[in-house]
Amino acid sequence: MRFNRILLKLSGESLMGEQGYGIDVKRLNEYAEQIKEAASMGVQIGIVIGGGNIFRGLTGAGKGFDRVKGDQMGMCATVINSLALSSALGAIGQKNRVMTAIRMEPIGEFYNKWKAIEAMQQGEVVIFSAGTGSPYFTTDTGSSLRGIEIEADVMLKGTRVDGIYTADPEKDKTATKFHDITYSEVIARGLKVMDITATAMCMQNDLPIYVFNMDIVGNLKRVLSGEDIGTLVHN
């Protein structure tokens, strides 16, 4: 096994499954089972989930929402997803806790780095919600920040594709996959792995990112077991 502590970034869109909106319970339960399996391998797990299946601040701003309020709505969306995942994990016996970047007791515990690490060391899965707690930052940046803070070995970015390509493989059939790539090249090529702020934070703090397809059941375990099924971003 390659990693002791991971930050798993899940997209809100993935939680929609086949529905096109909201939370697909089948997909949610598949994620929970995979996460429990990873925890049973002794890996310490922190998780950040996006909120795009419910509300996306930037899209809202384009439709006339105030950007700050739109981003705050997006933060609330990530809390809904985090509670759903927490519930699914609890139902299969995986201890976990939700931490929020803005005060929201009793919905979640206010985020604290040391409490989070202590919980992970005791075998709890910690779900970090509400992004960074500030507007103008994405959940990608939220996961970079949390990954660096909790001293994770890697950020595992679970997406719908099996890595990083020269172009969007869903739109361009000639796109080729990278086995590994540097942060600088990701930024220079304008590849949509994460937003630039998040990528730059990982680059400056030397947090590698591993992009893989989380929607295939068993893939999280494969990554943790050392199988080469995605793309590594590094310095």
Considering only CA atoms, which of 2, 31, 7 is closest in space to residue 155? 7
Per-residue pLDDT of 66-111, as tens digits, reads: 999 999 999 999 999 999 999 999 999 999 999 999 999 999 999 9
pTM of the model as a whole: 0.95
Whether the per-residue pLDDT at 29 is higher than 70: the answer is: yes
DSSP reduced 3-state for 211? strand
Domain segments of the chain as ranges: 5-234
Mean pLDDT (whole number) for 196-215: 96
Are residues 70 and 60 in contact, defined by beta-carbon separation less than 8 angstroms?
Answer: yes
* Residue-by-residue DSSP string for 29-64: HHHHHHHHHHHHTT-EEEEEE--TTT--HHHHHHTT
- Asked which of 59-63, 109-113, 160-164, 201-205 is least confident by mean pLDDT, the reply is 59-63
From the options 3.40.1160.10, 3.90.76.10, 1.20.210.10, 3.40.50.450, give the CATH code of 5-234.
3.40.1160.10
Per-residue pLDDT of 98-157, as tens digits, reads: 999 999 999 999 999 999 999 999 999 999 999 999 999 999 999 999 999 999 999 999
Per-residue pLDDT of 171-190, as tens digits, reads: 898 999 999 999 999 999 99
* More confident site: 17 or 85: 85
d(CA 170, CA 160) in angstroms, rounded, equals: 10
